[in-house]
Amino acid sequence: MFGQACAAPNASRALVDILRAIVTRDPAKIEQLSDAVRGPKCNHIARSAQATRPLRPDQARAEEIYPGWFVGVNIANRDKAMILRAACDVYGLSMPNDVSVKLPNS
């Protein structure tokens, strides 16, 4: 990430760590990112953990990536990869030059 090698114990932790690093660069773009990754059943990035799974808040597992913003982590790795690609697009970063990640099954 940004020229430095990083490791995470699992894909969810990698997602959270990378998003935290990206969104702190320009917090004003978080809402744009949230809109870019909104799915038909999930708000992958939302203002509360429960809002990440509005139809099934009992299944919501989320981590705060910036004060007042959460990313749902109870998702497939392919969705995590999609969120990271969208974050790079919104924040004007390139994959794999600025951010390179290997997630199983993505």
Q: Do 33 and 43 touch, CB atoms closer than 8 A?
A: no
User: Using CB atoms within 10 A of its CB, is residue 51 exposed (0-12), middle (13-18) or buried (19+)?
Assistant: middle
Say whether 105 sits in a helix, a strand or coil: coil
- The pTM of the full predicted model, rounded to 2 decimals, is 0.89
Total H helices, total E strands in the chain: 3, 3
pLDDT mean by block of 10 residues, the chain; 106 residues: 77 94 95 95 93 89 96 93 95 86 73
